[in-house]
Structure 1
């Protein structure tokens, strides 16, 4: 059943109380008939550059989809220091949400993205940079 809600979204939050002013926190929210979860993650200006590179790599992967058997996979923000997403350019697209290094729980969410999703993601990246002043 489709409720009209996005199964996965990222919501802004204030800066981490434990981190520098250059770092921000956000909530990764999953809502479905099977699982409802929210996990906090942190990012900085360098992570936004990594997100831009990830979007470029996804676009290249989509353009080469019929030419290779390899499936593009990329994580954001970088693994190891906070919860993160792993984007897998399959059909349908899949996003894995990893609550590492905290609980070690992962959730795999298939997402039926529309053709224009990449443009929308770039627009949100520009808006995030503007809000953060980077």
Structure 2
């Protein structure tokens, strides 16, 4: 996995691009940015995000304050979903922090959700359940 180091931060670029570094994984239909980020104790990392992007992080280890300074620290094994257009930043606690950063653009497609199955239309959802009932849902 390609890496970039800056100011006490290590960014492993799994997917997408960071400061000109291409990730190891490329999406076929969507181009998410997926990073494994480590920030040294007392350090800060910020990321430029598109105003319409959705940003989500999962804290793997340590803790830090996400968003404006003065917020409450978020500890490991927790996730944070950011509002669209919000500037992304994290201030690491003294022990540092490691988190997975995921950013994606909206697909602007309709969503039809039925329990464990998600499709684009009610008709597709109904067909998926018929296929599931008949044993032909998973096709090769």
For the aligned pair, the TM-score class normalised by the smaller chain equals under 0.3
Identify the structure with bigger relative contact order (alpha carbons < 8 Å, sequence gap 6+).
Answer: 2
Higher strand residue share? 2
Pick the structure with more helix per residue: 1
TM-score (norm 2): 0.25
Report the TM-score when normalising by structure 1.
0.26
Look at both structures and tell me which one has the larger radius of gyration over its CA atoms.
2
